[in-house]
Amino acid sequence: MDQLVKDLEEDDFVGTPPTHELAVTVISLLMTITLFIYPNMLLKGYDAYDIMLQVMPNYLWGIAFFTAASFKGVGLLLDVKTMRIIGLVMSAVIYFVVSLSFSVDFPAMSAITYGVLSAFSVVSISQVKSTSIINRRGGKK
């Protein structure tokens, strides 16, 4: 009986939620929705938007945010760590480029905000192996 209890205790895995990764995923989805609802959002004439449009058109920004969020979301749901890492790297690059775009109007809160989101993505990459939204009892680790 003691051996059974010991085996069950060793097999328990209760995942620590990846809070930074979830926050970046939700914000990426909100950016996707915003960019698809307002297809001319980046045509307002701000210097930051002009730089972003030189990188790629408005709809491609929406697709980029959606792709990154999808990789992270599916990776979290299916517990596929490689997909999560790919999504986080994509988010880090996207948010870094957006942060650089907004830095031309520095000091701007947007440059700092997107820089922090990029940093959250980078930090979350190192936490992928130790975080999960799936709790397993007696299953694989």
Average pLDDT over residues 36-40: 89
Position with higher pLDDT, 25 vs 7:
25
Alpha carbons 96 and 107: distance in angstroms, whole number? 16
Residue 3 has pLDDT above 50, yes or no: yes
DSSP string, 54-83: HHS-HHHHHHHHHHHHHHHHHHHHHT-HHH
Distance CA 133, CA 127 (A): 13
Q: Write down the mean pLDDT value for the chain.
A: 85
> What is the predicted pLDDT for the residue at 129?
85
- What residues contact residue 67 under an 8 Å CB cut-off, 6+ apart? 90
Tokens 């909100």 sit on residue? 30
Q: For residue range 52-65, what is the model confidence (pLDDT) as tens digits?
A: 889 999 999 999 99
Chain position carrying tokens 């790629």: 56
The predicted pLDDT at position 69 comes to 95
Domain spans of the chain? Answer: 19-130
Q: What is the pTM of this model?
A: 0.81
The half-sphere exposure of 74 on its side-chain side, counting CA atoms within 13 A, is: 9
